[in-house]
Structure 1
Amino acid sequence: MSTLLFDPLTTTTVELQQRLVSGKLNSVQIIETYLTQIDAHNPALNAFISIAPRDGLRSIAAALDAERAAGSLRGHFHGIPIVLKDSIMTASELGMPTTAGSFALVQAKCKKNAPLVEKLIDAGLIILGKANLTEFCGLKTSAMMPG
């Protein structure tokens, strides 16, 4: 882990933001660190149901770094990655399906982002991927129960 610029298991968002502000770290480096961590552990953990296309992540991070260098910040979390639950709708152009954990929705396409996702993007957060979850978030109602 000595080659990493920060520990992705213990570094907080506030610490990342402080390092971005001080120039000790940039968003591209943060993305690369998290992708390295995901590559090392996700196959075994199956924590991510999908990861945004890497080239797109790098482009978004570089654009946010350029905005920061120009003195333009979108918010306190400008350039910080975030992971969404797979039940939160993301538009097809983000490169991640919204399946709610169901194989039945793997090919489904969303035309637009959920309002929450738009607010996150507008605030400068980077949607890194979608977290795995039980099918339909484990939704069970009395109407679905036998008896």
Structure 2
Amino acid sequence: MSSSFIQPYLFFGGRCEEALEFYKTAIGAETQMLMRYSDSPDPMPPGMLPEGYESKVMHASFKVGSSVILASDGCGGEESKGFRAFSLSLALPDAAATDRVFSALAEGGSVNMPLGETFWSSRFGMLQDKFGMGWMITIDPGADPKYKNA
């Protein structure tokens, strides 16, 4: 199945637009598309959306490097209650970029493992951002001078 691929779809429980702006600043994300519930050509089924969600994000896509991530505010249900049991892994071109992005994503969040040297990378760390998204930040193994020839 050469045309198959997995694409993350993140639900932000009413904070999608805020998350897109945060990721734009923190990691250089570029919003490619944004559609609000009020823009839908078909009306939402009665009772599907919480009151006030008409202007929330029904569907968005944003690009980080060559990766495209999909996002939404969700419909206020279980899908919007945080991120569990996975993290997004972000490989950056050098130590300076790794340090800058780690600090930016950690703002308002919590650090699970501070940036440091590991046996596989000269810079690796884990955190949870202010939206509850888990991140693993590292130097791209192909660009890591210490491990490039390992």
| Structure with the bigger percentage of strand | 2
- TM-score, normalised with respect to structure 2: 0.25
- TM-score, normalised with respect to structure 1: 0.25
| Structure with the bigger percentage of helix | 1
Q: Which protein has greater RCO, CA pairs closer than 8 Å, 6+ apart? A: 1
